[in-house]
Amino acid sequence: MKGILAVPDTPYIIGYGLEIVATAEMRTLIEQARGDFTIQYFRASERSIMSGIQHLAGRFCAKKAILKALGMELNRQAFWLDIEVQRLPTGEPSVVLHGQYRELANCLGIAKWLVSITHVADYAAASAIALL
């Protein structure tokens, strides 16, 4: 019929997470960590693209937002290295899950992630949307 627009297939949102952190709080976390904070929380591929506290805080927020989107409770027992936030050639962040989080995402039917990271001198924030 003329005049009727076909609605394209729209992805179904499985989960959504949002996180913000003050860079001063991030510095405190780093100082309180036993051992090297970056080794405990970030894979080598992530560490290679972080150039300062703002980038580190932004990636940390992204991981926490991804956990929230997965419906996982945030705690120190989280498997931080099983969540990898990569950078595409366009600069856009992307998500690669490993271990239990990959299994959970597969069970939930998550096919795609939309992630946004932002930071200024005093704050970093990230949002994550898990799509079917």
The total number of structural domains that make up the chain: 1
Q: Which residues of 71-89 are buried (b: 16+ CB within 10 A; e: fewer)?
A: ebeeeeebebbbbbbebee
Residue at token pair 């990636």: 59
**DSSP per-residue letters across 3-40:** TPPPPPP-PPEEEEEEEEEEHHHHHHHHHHSSS-HHHH
pLDDT in tens, 20-71: 999 999 999 888 887 688 898 999 999 988 888 999 999 999 999 999 999 9
Look at residue 5 and tell me if it is in a domain.
no
Task: Kindly state whether residue 2 falls inside one of the protein's structural domains.
Answer: no
| Residue 7 lies inside a defined structural domain of this protein | no
Tell me the residue range of the domain where 83 lies. 13-131
Q: Is residue 116 part of a domain?
A: yes
Residue 8 lies in a domain: no
Residue 76 belongs to some domain of the structure: yes
The reply to whether 81 falls in a domain is yes
The 3-state DSSP class for residue 112 equals strand
pLDDT at 2: 56
CATH code of residue 58? 3.90.470.20
Q: Is the pLDDT of residue 80 over 70?
A: yes
